Amino acid sequence: MNMSKPIVAIVGRPNVGKSTLFNQIGKKRVSIVDDMPGVTRDRIYLDAEWLNQHFTMIDTGGIEFDESNHILKSMRQQAQLAMDEADVILFLVDGRSGLTTADEEVARLLRSTKKPVILAVNKIDSPQRAMDVYEFYNLGLGDPIPISASNAMNLGDLLDAIVAAFPKKEEEVKDEDEISIAVIGRPNVGKSSIVNAILGEERVIVSDVPGTTRDAIDTHFTKDGTKFTLIDTAGMRRRGKIDEPVERYSVMRSLRAIDRADVVLMMINAFEGITEQDKKIAGYAHESGKGVVIVVNKWDIYPDKDDKSTLRFTDELRDKLGFLQYAPVLYTSALTGQRVARVTDLVRYVAEQQAMRIKTSVLNELIRDAVSVNPPPMHRGRQLKILFMTQTDICPPKFIIFVNDPELMHFSYLRFIENRLREQFGFEGTPLRLIVRARK
Ligand code: GDP
Ligand code: GDP
């Protein structure tokens, strides 16, 4: 069952406290993101949970647009993007500095959307400041919710209002044997081209042709008896209207697509090499826990190729996208069709790897071997004892390791266990979650 998570976009002037609020909400959840080197730290989105509802929150203030730094202009772009892509818009204003022209301008835009808009007035740090809220009724966006992001005041009420505004759940009917693919990557890496190349293959039977509206329409197809869905990251085919905000990379669309996918195709432009932006996008894929296949496209125009070129490029990938060690790499040309036929095979393979379950008895044998080859080092004169390990979930595979004292488990030892798991069982293309618990 794949249900896409609602997206909440925070819009607001610089310095109203967007990132402070963002970080406060982030603190409310248990962190599951592993501390792997290379994953970008300047987060602009986070996965949050409130009252059992999962959602993704995005700070539009952190999104880079192609346009200048002009505040009003970038505010308009933020608001437009939120109106296009988010499910709920959180408009944050500053109770200390009071109502500004930019706020009024943004409110005017937001009043035209049918999407729910929640207005929060920040920096209401004490009851004495409550009066600062009233002038914001003038924005015509309903009752403003007073909060203090830095003191974490009233955030519960705010989150209640956000969650209450989520669209009614529409259960997506998903065929269990169908493998959903999200194609992500920088503009111009060849996302549309590879999609078209895959759908144009001889053995592919397309059962559902994407429409031309701006709404996301997935494409269903079958190849060699396996059913696939290509998730449309809306706009993959659409070419922008002139007035549309030119976001350098559509974070919201990608997150939404990744969220609905079983396997993510992370596309890299061979000709241009691996950039900082690729690193960020790859970080989204990694943190999602979905299966990942790295596709290095435009291989046809890679300069001065020799028989070591793919090896060298793969080394560079492993170096720059260190957190994606587990992802298989394919060198393609969407233009000539080179290796395009392999894409779906790899996707199917990775989907199988993600769904693999290992018996507890087999895992414990692995632990016994691992410990005898490489006993856990002593820590403050105490020895880590691993009591047993069991797999509790798939997609991504999740393991719980019961020990005498979790404090004694060093990150590098956990890494060692992960490597043993991969050596023995593969788990290619999928991240693994290893959780350490004290035995009850
Ligand atoms: P952003 O530019 O909208 O992301 O704003 P920041 O989160 O960076 O905050 C801008 C400034 O406002 C920082 O100095 C924060 O410490 C301060 N700030 C944020 N929230 C509050 C609040 O609730 N009360 C007060 N007094 N200051 C706050
Ligand atoms: P998207 O923005 O990621 O969807 O990229 P497009 O599929 O629109 O491709 C951008 C440009 O790169 C187009 O001009 C394509 O014809 C070209 N292109 C895509 N794939 C390849 C490839 O494998 N080799 C070469 N030489 N050009 C490609």
Pairing mode, strands 382-383 and 378-379? antiparallel
pLDDT, residue 44, reads: 73
- Residue with tokens 């402070």, as numbered in its chain: 20
In a shared domain, residues 133 and 109: yes
What CA–CA distance (Å, rounded) separates 106 from 291? 39
Predicted pLDDT at 215: 46
Residues 184 and 281 in one domain: yes
The response to whether residue 333 sits with its C-beta less than 6 Å from ligand 2 reads yes
User: What local confidence, expressed as pLDDT, does residue 205 receive?
Assistant: 86
- 290 — phi, psi (to 5°)? -80, 165
Residue 47 labelled as part of a binding site: no
The answer to whether residues 169 and 3 touch, using CB atoms and an 8 Å cutoff, is yes
Strand partners, 88: 8
CB 186 near ligand 2, within 6 Å: no
H-run or E-run covering 422: helix 411-425
Domain identity same for 389 and 371: yes
Atom number of ligand 2 nearest to Cα 336: 23
pLDDT score at 38: 35
Distance of CA 296 to the CA centre of its chain: 20
For ligand 2, atom 18: residue with the closest CA:
190
Which among 174, 177, 189, 161 has a CA at the least distance from the CA of 227?
177
Q: CB of 268 closer than 6 A to ligand 2?
A: no
Give the total residue count for the chain. Answer: 440
State whether 299 and 350 are in the same domain: yes
Which residue, 302, 324, 354, sits at the end of a domain? 354
Q: What is the pLDDT along the chain (440 residues), one digit of tens a residue?
A: 345 788 899 999 989 999 889 888 876 543 333 333 333 345 677 778 888 888 888 888 776 665 556 777 878 888 888 888 889 999 999 999 999 999 999 999 999 999 999 999 999 999 888 888 999 999 999 999 999 999 999 999 999 999 999 987 665 566 778 999 999 998 889 998 999 999 998 888 888 655 544 445 688 899 999 999 998 765 444 444 444 455 555 777 888 889 889 999 999 999 999 998 899 889 989 988 999 999 999 999 999 999 999 999 999 999 999 889 999 999 999 999 999 999 999 999 999 999 999 999 999 999 999 999 999 988 888 889 998 899 989 999 999 998 999 889 988 999 999 999 999 999 999 999 999 988 86
Ligand nearest to the CA of 125: 1
Q: Is the CB of 149 under 6 A from ligand 1?
A: yes
| Local structure of 211: helix, strand or coil | coil
- For ligand 1, atom 24, the nearest C-alpha belongs to 123
CATH of the domain at 202: 3.40.50.300
* Cβ proximity of 9 and 58 under 8 Å: yes
Distance (angstroms) between ligand 2 centre and the Cα of 291 equals 24
Is residue 281 within 6 Å of ligand 2 at its C-beta? no
For residue 159, the 8-state DSSP code is H
Q: What is the ipTM of this complex?
A: 0.74
Q: Is 126 helix (H, G, I), strand (E, B) or coil?
A: coil
Token readout for 98 is 């009071």
Domain presence at residue 171: no
Identify which ligand lies nearest to the alpha carbon of 24: 1
Q: What interhelical angle do 251-260 and 276-288 show, nearest 10? A: 30
pLDDT of residue 246: 52
64 three-state secondary structure: coil
What is the domain count for the chain?
3
Binding residue per annotation — 167? no
Question: In terms of domains, do 120 and 236 share one?
Answer: no
Contact 148, 122 (CB under 8 A): yes
Residue 170 lies in a domain: no
Q: Whose CA is nearest to atom 19 of ligand 2?
A: 190
- φ, ψ at 185 (rounded to 5°): 150, 165
Plot region of 129 (φ>0 → left; ψ -120 to 50 → alpha; else → beta): alpha
Which pLDDT value is given to residue 218? 82
Domain shared by 339 and 283, yes or no: yes
User: Domain for residue 72, yes or no?
Assistant: yes
Burial 346-370 (b: 16+ CB within 10 A, else e): bbbbbbebbeeebeeeebeebbeeb
Report if residue 321 sits inside a domain: yes
- Ligand 2 neighbourhood includes 187 CB (under 6 angstroms): yes
- Which residue's entry shows tokens 């996301």? 216
Strand partners, 264: 182, 292
Do the domain assignments include residue 173? Answer: no
Whether ligand 1 lies within 6 angstroms of the CB of 314 is answered as no
> What is the structure's pLDDT at 90?
97
Q: Does 1 map to a domain?
A: no
Residues 33 and 157 reside in one and the same domain: yes
- Domain residues for the domain of 57 are 7-165
